[in-house]
Amino acid sequence: NAGVTQTPKFQVLKTGQSMTLQCAQDMNHEYMSWYRQDPGMGLRLIHYSVGAGITDQGEVPNGYNVSRSTTEDFPLRLLSAAPSQTSVYFCASSYSKLAGSTDTQYFGPGTRLTVL
């Protein structure tokens, strides 16, 4: 298993450009999430999905769209990039649907995005 993969690893955008960060997992996990990591702020949840065709907003969803057409893929779209979206983005996946599950969230290696 490759686990959780993310592409690209690095990206530089100009303000106003759009792009899609890719995330894929080959573990047949139901749950997938996108987080952003900023210095001194830990990780904050952007969007998450509890299964194919189902998505919901996290703490900081503005400026981002997601879709989940397959179990394996969970792309994150930046519609019109802004400098405030400069961050490291992590995708994560986990299996269980049960509340309070111990099931580990597996994280991808991250995408470092700079918006000029």
Partner 1 sequence: GEDVEQSLFLSVREGDSSVINCTYTDSSSTYLYWYKQEPGAGLQLLTYIFSNMDMKQDQRLTVLLNKKDKHLSLRIADTQTGDSAIYFCAESPYTGKLIFGQGTTLQVKP
Name the residues that contact partner 1, by CB under 8 A: 4, 31, 33, 35, 40-45, 48-50, 58, 90, 92, 94, 96-102, 104-105, 107-110
Return the ∠ at Cα 58 (arms to 26 and 30), rounded to 5°. 25
The CB-of-81 to partner 1 minimum distance in angstroms stands at 22
Residues counted in the chain: 116
How many other C-beta atoms are found inside a 10 Å radius of the C-beta of residue 114?
A: 13
- Report the residue number, 85 or 111, with the smaller CB distance to partner 1: 111
- Report the residue number, 45 or 52, with the smaller CB distance to partner 1: 45
Give CA–CA dist 86/105, Å, rounded.
24
Closest C-alpha to 115, from 90, 79, 66: 79
- Report the residue number, 14 or 39, with the smaller CB distance to partner 1: 39
Peptide bond into 83 cis (omega under 30): no
The CB-of-110 to partner 1 minimum distance in angstroms stands at 6
Measured between its terminal Cα atoms, the distance across the chain in Å is: 36
- Report the residue number, 69 or 96, with the smaller CB distance to partner 1: 96
The CB-of-111 to partner 1 minimum distance in angstroms stands at 11
The CB-of-102 to partner 1 minimum distance in angstroms stands at 6
